[in-house]
Amino acid sequence: MTRAADLPGSASLVLASGVVHIDPAPTVYEAMLDGWAMQQRTRFLKAQTIQSRVDLVRRFATFTNEYPWQWQAAEVEAFIDHLRSGQRPIVVSTARGYQNALRLFMEYVTDARYAWPLTCEEKFGQAPVQILHEWNTVAHVAEYEGDPRRRPLTYDEVQALFDSADARVEEIRARRRKGALAAMRDAVLLKTVYAYGLRRREAWGLDLSDLRHNPRARNHGRCGALYVRWGKSSKGSPPKRRTVLTVPEMDWIVPALEQWIDEIRPAFSPGKLPGMWVTERQSRLSCRAVNEAFEGARDAAGLPKELDLHCLRHSYVTHLIEFDYPERFVQDQVGHEYASTTALYTGVSDEYRNRLLKRSLDRHAEMWGAS
């Protein structure tokens, strides 16, 4: 049986033994946070995930002006209510994320194996208790809880987005201003995000070496597939990897990528930088700049501000379905573990549904005619 002293994050590992503190409360509180961070690191969780969780606990402690062994359920309810009524109210999914993080922290400090209940009882005469329960947390009753205004773009909207990105290049050239190369890069970047259904980080992390030949599509040359190395990770796993094939309906991306690689990118003088998307400073384009490229083209095209870069990925899924690709193929292309996730991304058009209906009606008409 594992003893408390053996567990990473236990009180005995993060609290100095034999030391008498004039004010032990802040020392124990900081040790709790250090121990929790240690416990999460042993599970190979991302440093960013751990830090965001610790920051949330600190934020909650500041709100309550109390220590974890003093917290009560009413305080977490007041905290969430406060965040809902501020100038920038949190949404349901954010509230659930906060509650889950705080619940995990309370599970850690109330677990006897880590010895925090015993430590707090000895030092303060009070042990921490779980303050988040089924009755005071957000219930997960809907599979999709995002903003309903976020949706796949129509074919016309995708074209308008790309047209505005291309027009930006000509506008800069006409004014004889700097930035034409960057505008050309952004236009190809947005087209690549859509043509391969990429997440922002996946597009950001692309290297030139990630372009692959596909023996089944020799006419696509070196752009027959894209090897994605920065897929979304889960439960402490490293980024997931997948190969996205260039589909015939999106093969217009091939000449765009070829031009970028052979003509435009070298003009940035990137040297040995492996990144696909580079800047004038010979560095990899930032994730924020990827967002800004979309937002600039979106606003220039007059599209709704609720649409963001991720909507291009939704559009890719929807349009592949409308091109009659099997759901399993689409699922593999975008790297979803479950088909239900792919289904949430899909928002087929009325025209597509009418085509399906017409096929069904035609089949029934043939059946009746044969009988």
Whats the size of the chain, residue-wise? Answer: 371
Q: Supply the pLDDT for residue 352.
A: 65
Q: Supply the pLDDT for residue 18.
A: 65
Same domain, yes or no, for 242 and 131? no
**What pLDDT, in 10s, does the model give residues 42-79?**
988 889 899 999 999 999 999 999 999 999 999 999 99
Reply yes or no on whether the pLDDT at 140 is more than 60: no
Name the residue range of residue 113's domain: 4-136
**What pLDDT, in 10s, does the model give residues 327-363?**
999 999 999 887 767 776 677 666 666 666 677 667 7
Say how many Å lie between the first and final Cα of the chain, rounded. 74
CB atoms inside a 10 Å sphere around CB 215 = 6
Query: Is residue 319 in some structural domain?
Result: yes
Same domain, yes or no, for 39 and 83? yes
Q: What are phi and psi of 15, to 5 degrees?
A: -105, 130
**What pLDDT, in 10s, does the model give residues 190-225?**
999 999 999 999 999 999 999 999 999 999 999 999
Same domain, yes or no, for 355 and 257? yes
**What pLDDT, in 10s, does the model give residues 171-191?**
998 888 888 999 999 999 999
Q: Supply the pLDDT for residue 291.
A: 96
Reply yes or no on whether the pLDDT at 238 is more than 50: yes
**What pLDDT, in 10s, does the model give residues 259-300?**
999 999 999 999 999 999 999 999 999 999 999 999 999 999
- The CA angle 164-167-173, to the nearest 5 degrees, is 150
The span from the CA of 244 to the CA of 197, in Å, is 9
Q: Supply the pLDDT for residue 369.
A: 66
Query: Is residue 365 in some structural domain?
Result: no
Reply yes or no on whether the pLDDT at 246 is more than 70: yes
Same domain, yes or no, for 102 and 202? no
Same domain, yes or no, for 203 and 56? no
Domain count, the chain: 2
Q: What CATH number does the domain containing 272 carry?
A: 1.10.443.10
**Contact (Cβ atoms closer than 8 angstroms) between residue 43 and residue 236:** yes
Reply yes or no on whether the pLDDT at 2 is more than 50: no
Among 78, 107, 136, where does a domain finish?
Answer: 136
Instruction: Calculate the average pLDDT of the chain.
Output: 89
pTM, two decimals, is: 0.74
Query: Is residue 295 in some structural domain?
Result: yes
Closest alpha carbon to 194 in 224, 161, 221: 161
Same domain, yes or no, for 209 and 253? yes
Query: Is residue 144 in some structural domain?
Result: no
Average of pLDDT values for 87-99?
89
Closest alpha carbon to 111 in 227, 235, 2, 236: 2
Same domain, yes or no, for 220 and 315? yes
Same domain, yes or no, for 182 and 318? yes
Same domain, yes or no, for 27 and 131? yes
Percent residues over pLDDT 70 in the chain: 88
Torsion of CA 326, 192, 245, 350, to 10 degrees: 10
- The CA angle 100-101-105, to the nearest 5 degrees, is 115
Q: Supply the pLDDT for residue 259.
A: 97
**What pLDDT, in 10s, does the model give residues 75-91?**
999 999 999 987 888 98
